[in-house]
Amino acid sequence: MRGAEYWVSISRGGTRLGAGFLLTGCYVVTAHHCLGDAALGGEEVDVEFESGEVLPGRVHRRSPAADLALIDVPKSGVGPVIPRGDRASAGQAWRNPYRPSRSHAFLSGTIDAAPVSYQCEGGDSVEAMQLGCVQDLGDYAGYSGSPIEGGGSDGESKLFGVLIEQYPEQYVDDGRSAPASIVLFAATLTEVFRRFPDFDLGHLIDLLPSSSGRDVQALYESGGKPLAGDLARNDAQSHIAVADAKIEALDGWQKRGLLDEQYVTALKLRVIERHLLDGDVGEKP
């Protein structure tokens, strides 16, 4: 059991690197700069959950220019509940459920602007949120890679994005150093999905079974409802059978924690468009 929280601490060789959080059941997203040398060559890092469980993770994909990275972690028991993603807007309250240690403060504040185009230290312009922080800590080292949440209209917590950078220290006219900025920037979930093909809906659709009930059976590992008949037949029943197989597989992936509810819903809509509305048979190239 990983514990109730979806955020993690990332370390390597006993040295803490930064924070991250589960975006799906097996991928942790973090700020690229947190990984240091571990960002080269897919080295292993230690991923620690709130429960104290530590799992080996491997750097899966990197986007240095956008200061984003994905870590692949193995499945182990029941994973935590990941808040549904949402787009933030200016004026909303935000909070950070992660803190580097119990002697650190939780961060919170108001979203000053969103979405904005922000040129991060990696060099690329990313879709981001400009965050005004209530807690004036001076240095926010240790919080990078952690999740930014806010409240949705339904009162539930929503996941807005990933904290990547503190706005650079500014200087007054006489050259004296001014206090460190309390303005932070977080990449939106939209930017994360844009940078990594693992979250492309078309890519995930192509991973779903489509040609026979045997594919569905293999996906479920045990149990499952195989399809009767030949799904390659060019008729309406074939369209329905293919769509049913994929929707059942998506439900199975959600139950196993591989995908959260938000992305499963989007994928189901894509399945319906492809096989029931467009009238296609089989897979698109």
Instruction: Specify the DSSP class assigned to residue 232.
Output: T
Nearest CA to 253 among 282, 224, 283? 224
Tokens of 37: 């040398």
What's this model's pTM, rounded to 2 decimal places? 0.68
Domain boundaries, the chain: 7-72, 84-195, 200-277
The predicted pLDDT at position 111 comes to 97
What's the rounded mean pLDDT across residues 41-61? 87
What does the mean pLDDT of the chain come to? 77
User: Model confidence at 59, in pLDDT bands (50, 70, 90)?
Assistant: very high
Considering only residues 25 and 64, tell me which one the structure prediction assigns the higher pLDDT.
64
First to last CA, the chain: 39
CB atoms within 10 A of CB 58: 15
Residue 209 has pLDDT above 50, yes or no: no
Instruction: Specify the DSSP class assigned to residue 74.
Output: -
Distance CA 262, CA 68 (A): 21
Considering only residues 251 and 68, tell me which one the structure prediction assigns the higher pLDDT.
68
- Fold of the domain built from segment(s) 7-72: Thrombin, subunit H (2.40.10)
Tokens of 253: 């992936």
Distance CA 153, CA 122 (A): 34
Residue 214 has pLDDT above 60, yes or no: no
Residue 31 burial (C-beta neighbours within 10 Å; 0-12, 13-18, 19+) = buried
Name residue 69's beta-bridge partners: 30, 62
Considering only residues 282 and 119, tell me which one the structure prediction assigns the higher pLDDT.
119
What's the rounded mean pLDDT across residues 28-48? 82
CATH number belonging to the domain at 84-195, selected among 3.40.50.2300, 2.60.120.580, 1.10.4160.10, 2.40.10.10: 2.40.10.10
The predicted pLDDT at position 156 comes to 83
Nearest CA to 23 among 232, 191, 182? 191
